[in-house]
Amino acid sequence: MSKISTLFKELKRNGKKGLIPFITAGDPDPKLTVELMHALVRGGSNVIELGVPFSDPMADGPVIQRSSERALTQGVTLHQCLEMVKEFRKQDLETPVVLMGYANPVEQMGAERFATEAKAAGVDGVLVVDYPPEECIDFAARMRMAGVDPIFLLAPTSSPERIKEAAKIASGYIYYVSMRGVTGASHLNTHDVASIIPTIRQETDIPIAVGFGINDAQSAKAVSKTADAVVIGSRIIRLLEEAPPGQAVQSLEAFIREIRFALDS
């Protein structure tokens, strides 16, 4: 059983919901990324999604696009993202890390090499945004053979066929995009989320994490009533943008603690 699967079983046994924050590797400073990852864990995160910066992040809104641009300006590559995970693993062998990004960097490295190097670095899951599940049977199998969970996106527009395909090949968790549009949108409708999750559960018992539009403790708590975990990305990137000089780590940890408290209350 994978580290992510084990974690979700433990959360369920304890009656808790997962908290999955997203940060972009290298933003705001490559030297700060590992420290931010540890701050996420101290605050109560269960899984870390580490974004691989990409020049054309088509599913991401302007906030995460800016974070990718800042990281790329500082020369952050997929290889460096893996090195950051290795550094994180020197102190934390338990917290699952999921790399989240786009197909181009993976294909430039080659899927087989990527799977091997991701596992060696300590990566537990991979979510490639522009890899639709129906076209990724071989990729998913390669990841699982390497001991890395292939995670896929579903959205309000996903057809019943796509839901079935994702359910067949995904492991770790399924990431349900709570709304149409890009990351950072604010029109979250928790009733819509609650209505679609049972449809997904009919096809799989894999945990369902919900992201896009979760900006605060209130929205996280509302979504967690039906989801197994909540994913928070754009709000965290904005927090890092707005943090006073030298206060990014402390601000992030405090914010995560607030979300954790809400999920546990």
What is the rounded CA–CA span in Å between residue 154 and residue 231? Answer: 14
Which residue is catalytic, options 10, 27, 35, 49?
49
- Residue 126, strand partner residues: 99, 150
* CA-based torsion, 176, 235, 25, 22: positive or negative: negative
Q: Is 49 an annotated catalytic residue?
A: yes
Which residue is catalytic, options 60, 149, 228, 253?
60
Q: Is 241 an annotated catalytic residue?
A: no
What is the rounded CA–CA span in Å between residue 133 and residue 175? Answer: 12
Phi, psi dihedrals of residue 26, rounded to the nearest 5°: 95, -5
What is the rounded CA–CA span in Å between residue 1 and residue 207? Answer: 14
Judge contact between 179 and 210, C-beta under 8 A. no
Active site residues: 49, 60
